[in-house]
Amino acid sequence: MAFELPTLVTFVSYLLVTLAIGVVAFKATDTLSDYILGGRKLGPAVTALSVGASDMSGWLLLGLPGAIYLSGVSEVWIGVGLVVGAYFNWLLVAPRLRKFTEKANDSLTLPEFFENRFNDTSHLLRFISAATILIFFTFYVSSGLVGGAILFEKVFGLDYNSALIIGAVVIVSYTFLGGFLAVSWTDFFQGCLMLLALVILPITTIYELGGIDKTAAILDNANPEYASLFKNFSWLGFISLMAWGLGYFGQPHILSRFMAIRSTKDIPASRNIAMVWMVVSLIGALGVGLVGLAYYVQTPLENSETIFIQLSSSILNPWVAGVIIAAILSAIMSTIDSQLLVCSSVIVEDFYKHLNQREASEKELVWLSRISLIVIALLATVIATNPESSVLDLVSYAWAGFGAAFGPTVILSLYWSKYTKLGAICTVITGAIIVVVWKQLTGGIFDLYEIVPGFITAMAVGVLVSTTVKSDSTESEEMFHQLNKD
């Protein structure tokens, strides 16, 4: 696919802007707290769009439109489940997590919060949680790198592996420099760009096809069931799609934004901005998939996940196409940078600081975080070298792992005073194991999305262990009441 010079100029200019943001943030980053959480100074708008952009990733502009292009409107149930889950995550988790993490010895990471919440002097809960984050995030980052490679492959006409390496270098560069501030500021910019792209592209394509009625007629002729919400409906499939919303409660890269917001008073405004952005973006992604089928009804695409890229290059002005394609990279970058940052934070804050026998300086810790970020990126790049990898498949696996392992743990930690350290350890382990094992099984009930059995079983085990084994229940309960005070 050939791209005109204006498209490439616009695209490269966008990359330079993100690197410039990284350089500016680098100058504002002095301490480990700055690098990991930006000093807990994020405003509501930046927090909202940073949550949205880091959440949606390449799935919003590659995975979801591709699924709609292949199967029709019935795939939108994933979006419905995500909207419901995101809203309750903002409503139930965000305020308490912001307050609890600051009171719990200014916890900078999720594993550190768990340790402080339960006064775990053995550090076992912290290490298990940190290891779980590193394992699943390596797969999650890989999904983003696959999306980035697809984009660079199409834009520059490179082979897959070369495109993968270039994409990884670009994404890692500004995160390496600026840490959390660079990630949050670029996510805000990227969130705006993504929203713009998701509004412009379907509207422009409909105009190109001759209007809404003609577009609908083309779709109806192609497949009358394409617009059916209940095409090939099954309760197992419906529950699986809706269950994506459960994953929100355990995503470390999203929860870290709640921990970094300036004040709990900013959360309602931030929540409103985030939900409007999310709903409009999902409608736009649905539109891209639908109009994409209509536009390419005579010449189907080999890779459905390139529908956004193909449409942009085919019908838009080259300068506008450059902006739209940059938006796709925005979606990919906004998630990878957040995940890499969480991984490097976990390595330094939850492993190195506790295993190292001497007191490390802030400068040493910040630079170790940067080095850790590169190591994780290299591992994820190796996993992503398979060009047949599906963005949606890789995302769904990691999303389920976090949702099942940490979702119940976070909810119980914030709302149940009798939740114990042993209960939390068993919750994390159970959720992670169930997801890994369930993913390997197929047929019948095992076609159910693995987050459902993982989340339910982990929650049940956490409650059962906490109520039957009460060795540390008094201490955990006292800490809960202390953190819950206004």
Q: What is the pLDDT of residues 62-96, one digit of tens each?
A: 778 888 888 888 888 888 889 999 999 999 999 99
Element spanning 275, H or E: helix 267-295
Q: Residue 1 above 50 pLDDT?
A: no
> HEC profile for 292-346?
HHHHCCCCCCCCHHHHHHHHHHHHCCHHHHHHHHHHHHHHHHHHHHHHHHHHHHH
What is the reported pLDDT for 432? 92
Task: Indicate the domain borders of the chain.
Answer: 5-392
CA dist 310 and 302 (Å) reads 11
Structure tokens given for 273: 């901005």
Stretch 402-431: mean pLDDT, rounded?
94
Stretch 432-459: mean pLDDT, rounded?
91
What is the reported pLDDT for 33? 64
CA 448 to chain centre: 22
What is the reported pLDDT for 422? 93
Quote the radius of gyration of the chain (alpha carbons, Å): 22
Distances from the Cα of 45 to the Cαs of 137, 179, 203, 466, in angstroms? 26, 19, 26, 39
Q: Which of 141-155, 328-342, 353-367 has the highest mean pLDDT?
A: 141-155
Q: What is the pLDDT of residues 260-316, one digit of tens each?
A: 888 889 999 999 999 999 999 999 999 998 998 889 888 888 888 788 888 888 888
- Which carries the bigger pLDDT value, residue 414 or residue 119? 414
Contacts of 343 (CB under 8 A, 6+ apart): 133, 134, 137, 138, 141, 372, 373, 376
Q: CATH for 5-392?
A: 1.20.1730.10
Q: What is the pLDDT of residues 337-378, one digit of tens each?
A: 777 777 777 887 777 777 765 676 777 777 787 788 788 888
What is the reported pLDDT for 461? 97
What is the reported pLDDT for 133? 87
Average pLDDT, the chain: 82
The reported pTM is 0.83
Contacts of 235 (CB under 8 A, 6+ apart): none
Q: Residue 5 above 80 pLDDT?
A: no
**pLDDT over 90 percentage in the chain:** 24
Stretch 453-457: mean pLDDT, rounded?
96
Question: Which pLDDT band, with edges at 50, 70 and 90, does 394 fall under?
Answer: low
What is the reported pLDDT for 451? 94
